[in-house]
Amino acid sequence: MAVYENGNGSVFANDAKINLQRVPNLSDFFPDLPKYPNPLNENKYFHPSKGFFATETQFVAKSVTIDVSNPNPPNQKYFMLAGPREKVVFKSEDVKAAIVTCGGLCPGLNTVIRELVNGLWHQYGVRQISGVLAGYRGFYSSDTVYLDPKVVDSWHKVGGTMLDTSRGGMDLKKIVNSIEDRGYNVLFIIGGDGTLRGAHGIFEEIKRRGLKVSVACIPKTVDNDVAVIDRSFGFQTAVEAAQAAINAAHVEAESTPNGVGLVKLMGRSAGHIALHATLSSRDVDCVLIPEVPFFLKGPGGLLEFLDQRLAENGHCVIVVAEGAGQDLMPKSGDGAKDDSGNLLFQDIGYWLSGQLKKHRNENHPGKVFAVKYIDPTYMVRAVPSNATDTLYCTLLAHSACHGAMAGYTGFVAGPVNGTYCYVPLEQVAYNQHLVNVNHQKWAWVKSLTNQPEFVKPDSLP
């Protein structure tokens, strides 16, 4: 079989184009970079055998579903298999690693930090590990903290991040100056889309300066809107935590004549938490997500649906993602943004609660009615990771360690179709994973809630 590369990551085998998504390696920029046997060969807790180490020819398909009439579609991508390599580019004693967490909180942050430290320490013999405090600005505005397995031993049991976090602070020159001055050569960045865009800038500036530094990223967002990978860590914990709010809303609604329980969940651009929390609950009558527009007044609107459901059941539970319905609310400000560059949203839950009350007072005067509005945002994202997410965080962290020690850089570690891969950083940093409303999952939601599409008729203003 004739195999050749065209220079942009795509490989041709005979006449079939195989779109391999390679990630950079330090040896690409330093051709004479020495390589060393992987320390795992000498680790008494590991007994590498045939097939233990991943190779450069192992890739994972983005889609596992194929149409046999077109088994190799042009949009099919293949990502590098994650895992330890036979050779590494760093000697253990030469590694100086830094770990930083940025952006909002997410269940599992401390677990990821803990397992990065344990993976570097126990598997690769690294002894110089620093925690950068309070996000990107910590590189140039504060001291770091020394990390070892004893320091991080119980971190996985608490929520939040023991390294502190913040939004913004992305001063590229100061950050890379600090990396260079402090001698870091392995950098682990944990954060969401804004953080990853910053990480891509750091990677490019490191490359421009000719520094031998590996930049490894672990994507973090409780919204689960990370592109390419199967899911973000902490998401399952967040869905589980959201159940308590939905249960409370249901109890409140059911205990009041014509009671409405309204729950706002996280999800600026993607309604994954709201969707999955609804699927895992049998108490939700309507779920509103950013990907599906809705309207309030008139035939087929949300308010008509509410009246019908109250007439049928005597109560109603509505789940709304924070990014839903932003087009319905009066505009205020001039596109103000937070420190991460995200547009500041108005509170859809508070606004919707007011609209529901106004509608009932105007159209059903004298009837008992109550809206119980619950916003569990910070409760959902501040809890420790559950068992499933803790396991997931461990495997993510160890995959990142293996990739960084092997010299890969500018990559994101994460599972694709259940198999851990290395994904080019820019593919994750500049894309989003939104709810596919054409997928069966959205149909499943509607089969549970029996809600309409809320498509506004052309005859309505």
Q: Which are the catalytic amino acids?
A: 223
Give the integer Cα–Cα distance in Å for 132 and 130: 6
CA-wise closest residue to 28 among 333, 395, 410, 316: 410
Residue type, 317: V
CA distances from 41 to 48, 54, 87 (A): 6, 14, 10
Q: Give, to the nearest 10 degrees, the angle between helix 302-313 and helix 348-363.
A: 70
DSSP letter at 119?
I
Six-digit token string for 398: 């160890």
Residues near 362 by beta carbon (within 8 Å), at least 6 away in sequence: none
Q: Rounded to an integer, what distance in angstroms lies between the CA atom of residue 347 and that of residue 356? A: 14
CB 75 within 8 A of CB 125: no
Give the type of residue at 335: G
Q: Tell me which residue of 446, 458, 436 sits closest to 288, measured CA to CA.
A: 446
Cα dihedral sign, 118-123-127-132? negative
List the structure tokens of 255.
């205990």
DSSP letters for 94-150: G--EEEEE-SS--TTHHHHHHHHHHIIIIIH----EEEEPSSTTHHHHS-EEE--TT
Amino acid at 86: E
In one letter, which amino acid is 327? Answer: D
Say if strands 59-61 and 10-13 run parallel, antiparallel, or are unpaired: unpaired
Task: Map residue 394 onto helix, strand or coil.
Answer: helix
